Structure 1
Amino acid sequence: MTRHLPWMLAAALALAALPLLLGANAIDKLTTLFIYMLLAATWGLLAGQAGLVSVGQQAFFGLGAYFALRLVDGGWSAYPALFAGAVGAAVVAWGLSFFVLRLKDGEFAIATWVVAEVIRIGVMLDPLVQGETGTSLIALNAVEPELRRNLGFWMALGSLVLMLLVTAWLLRSAVGTATRAIGEDDEAAASLGVRVTPTRRRVYVLASFGAALAGVAWLASAITFLPRTNFGVQWSVLMLFMALVGGLRSQWGPLLGALLLFVLQESLGHLGAWYLAGLGVVAAVFALWLPRGLAGVWDDWRARRALAVTPLSPSVPSLPRSSTP
């Protein structure tokens, strides 16, 4: 990570300058791409590294935005409230972890989805949200549209860079080693002295914080808050697709999956149901024949290329056997 850090920061600075060069439509699309990448990276950390297949991360995507709305209604400024809302969602994730992390495999997946639905219904009962009608972060309307668009872009980009750096640091630490061991076999890891639940709790809270950052970045761009959209299970479906296609066990693979999803949406999204069917076919192809995703394909290509260009070692001539007189 240390070796690549200057290049990562240089790329982030270059991307941060794009609002000065590109039009409104391009900035909106790039903001969406960064949000997708953020969701993919955090879900990949949760499922690919820690072995926690959650179908309820949309709870934190929506909860961060809801907390921001509540804070603004209580007198906070909009942008500080957005970040504080994400932190609040992470605190909720920490509390929930004492319940959901007691479960394993399918039970964990179902429990996370049920918890997400309970949270969505609870939020809909708040008069501020107005049920299915939803509400808007009206305070953002006071910001000039171009500046608001650029701030949303920088928020999504900054959140993505922050989570990538934290994730890279985590995976190279002792916690990351423990996380990978747990992802391979939690019982074997526990027998070797790994503290399974505390390690998973750190990963679960970090991934939930990333999902909440994506949710508040989405709210900053869309302004409107609709419970069925912000808490929709489609977010977890997209996370699964991006991580599976990109490479579930790779740190960078889910980013490739997010890029592929974005390209498919832009080129085939107008086909409606056929587009959704196409996503299903792509996911099935990768699950059956390319289980390591795009990252695995790239690694295999590099390995074959390295093998092809590596010169053969010269043979060592054998020494003549000494003859006995």
Structure 2
Amino acid sequence: MKTTHILPMPLSDRWLIGLACLVFVALALLPLVASALVVDKLTLLFILIMFAVMWNLLAGYAGLVSVGQQAFVGLGGYAMIRLVEAGLPPFPAIFMGAALTGLAAWVLSWFVLRMKVGEFAIATWVIAEAIRAVVSFDPLIQGETGTSLVALNAYAPEIRRLTVYLLALASMGVMIWGTWRLLHGRIGAQSQAIRDDEGAAASVGISTFQVKQRIYIIASVGCALAGALWLASAITFQPRTAFGVQWSVFMLFMVLVGGLGTFIGPILGALLFFALQEIFGDFGAWYLAGIGIVAIVFALYLPRGLVGLWLDRGCDEPLSMRKRLGLAPGQTPRA
């Protein structure tokens, strides 16, 4: 097998990584001077970025377009509630709940990943609704009334807010770094090959089901972790909200606006979506209409999202592996 020579990381990418590290450190120190409102809003931003990065990993790189990722958002919060009820402290329960959700995703993967693209998208939504209905029957949840994570009230509000903020920041950082490492490895090349032509990928010896299963479970665990962190911030758990389809709509919007199948795109899309929420969130239905208009504009005039503007200038995507492999823009690395 021919070995592809990997060039050194471009200077621009190294500068970008350095800048990202500085921003991360600044965000870690920000609660020392920022108000409680700013901390809460940034916590939500970190969660949105996690959602976007995970959905892009699933749909943008593995070609698994899901409209049911809210199943894992809700399961992450529900598992956390059940673990706390069993006696586990709330903050460790965030990560344990995400791990248990990964086990549920592993079970589901044996069924949904054998479906075709259209069937997969519909099945994920149906499964999410079915799980929401089952969770609603739990006496602890009290149907659509929901319940509150009262164990968090044992912590002072400022301590709880700071802890959730730092956990969300750290989780976001790990997801972004982990996704970058994953996509620059063998599984990243294999997943993109499957996305482009699954039959051709299988013909060269790639275990398509195994690769898709790994991506599916990783994305599910990431969404569950973000969902548990959201619950730790909101405290109140209601099935209709936790399992609401709006989570998948948000993910889809952020990724498509930022750039599907790009590394930087979902982060840019999450920042834009967060800004739109902050500017127009108080306008009620007009806010939703504005989100729809933005989505239509991007679909018509910027189908490759914000990153597409950069690519259309003949430049390679920041932090992309293509330049280091000496490939032309748009060319997929071989598995």
Asked if Structure 1 and Structure 2 have the same fold, meaning a TM-score greater than 0.5 normalized by the shorter chain, the answer is yes
Q: Which residue of 2 aligns with 1:66?
A: 78
Amino acid of the structure 1 residue aligned with 2:46? F
Q: Which residue of 1 aligns with 2:39?
A: 27
Distance in 1 (alpha carbons) for counterparts of 2:52 and 2:198: 23
Q: Which residue of 1 aligns with 2:211?
A: 199
Distance in 1 (alpha carbons) for counterparts of 2:21 and 2:51: 20
1:1-325 to 2 correspondences below 5 Å: 3=14, 7-301=19-313, 303=315
Query: Cα RMSD (Å) of the superposition?
Result: 1.6
Instruction: Tell me which stretches of 4 or more aligned residues in structure 1 moved more than 6 Å.
Output: none
Distance in 1 (alpha carbons) for counterparts of 2:228 and 2:34: 23
Q: Which residue of 1 aligns with 2:332?
A: none
8 A Cα contact 1:249 1:292, kept in partner: no
Amino acid of the structure 2 residue aligned with 1:226? Q
Distance in 1 (alpha carbons) for counterparts of 2:20 and 2:296: 33
Amino acid of the structure 2 residue aligned with 1:249? G
Using the TM superposition, give the Cα deviation of residue 144 of structure 1 relative to its aligned residue in structure 2, in angstroms.
0.4
After TM superposition, the structure 1 stretch with the greater mean CA deviation from structure 2, 1-10 or 168-177, is: 1-10
Q: Which residue of 1 aligns with 2:319?
A: none
Q: Which residue of 1 aligns with 2:329?
A: none
Distance in 1 (alpha carbons) for counterparts of 2:266 and 2:136: 32
Using the TM superposition, give the Cα deviation of residue 5 of structure 1 relative to its aligned residue in structure 2, in angstroms.
5.3
Q: Which residue of 2 aligns with 1:323?
A: none
Distance in 1 (alpha carbons) for counterparts of 2:284 and 2:304: 28
Partner secondary structure for residue 17 of structure 1:
helix
Distance in 1 (alpha carbons) for counterparts of 2:149 and 2:190: 41
Distance in 2 (alpha carbons) for counterparts of 1:278 and 1:163: 30
Q: Which residue of 1 aligns with 2:326?
A: none
Q: Name stretches of at least 5 consecutive residues in structure 2 with no aligned partner.
A: 1-8, 317-335
CA offset digits 1:232-287 (Å, max 9, x no partner)? 00000000000000000101101111111111111111111111111111111212
Using the TM superposition, give the Cα deviation of residue 9 of structure 1 relative to its aligned residue in structure 2, in angstroms.
3.7
CA offset digits 1:159-189 (Å, max 9, x no partner)? 1111111111110111100001111111121
Q: Which residue of 1 aligns with 2:3?
A: none
Using the TM superposition, give the Cα deviation of residue 299 of structure 1 relative to its aligned residue in structure 2, in angstroms.
3.1
Distance in 2 (alpha carbons) for counterparts of 1:32 and 1:158: 13
8 A Cα contact 1:101 1:108, kept in partner: yes
8 A Cα contact 1:134 1:224, kept in partner: yes
Amino acid of the structure 2 residue aligned with 1:29? K
Q: Which residue of 2 aligns with 1:308?
A: none
Using the TM superposition, give the Cα deviation of residue 6 of structure 1 relative to its aligned residue in structure 2, in angstroms.
5.2
Distance in 2 (alpha carbons) for counterparts of 1:298 and 1:262: 21
8 A Cα contact 1:132 1:228, kept in partner: yes
Using the TM superposition, give the Cα deviation of residue 83 of structure 1 relative to its aligned residue in structure 2, in angstroms.
1.0
Identity of aligned residues (%): 57
After TM superposition, the structure 1 stretch with the greater mean CA deviation from structure 2, 276-285 or 250-259, is: 276-285
TM-score (norm 1): 0.90
Amino acid of the structure 1 residue aligned with 2:188? G
Partner secondary structure for residue 177 of structure 1:
helix
Q: Name stretches of at least 5 consecutive residues in structure 1 with no aligned partner.
A: 305-325
8 A Cα contact 1:57 1:236, kept in partner: yes
CA offset digits 1:285-306 (Å, max 9, x no partner)? 21222111001113334739xx
Structure 1 pair 6–91 and aligned structure 2 pair: CA distance change class (3 A): farther
Using the TM superposition, give the Cα deviation of residue 11 of structure 1 relative to its aligned residue in structure 2, in angstroms.
2.8
Amino acid of the structure 2 residue aligned with 1:46? L
Distance in 1 (alpha carbons) for counterparts of 2:257 and 2:19: 26
Amino acid of the structure 1 residue aligned with 2:218? L
Corresponding residue pairs, total: 304
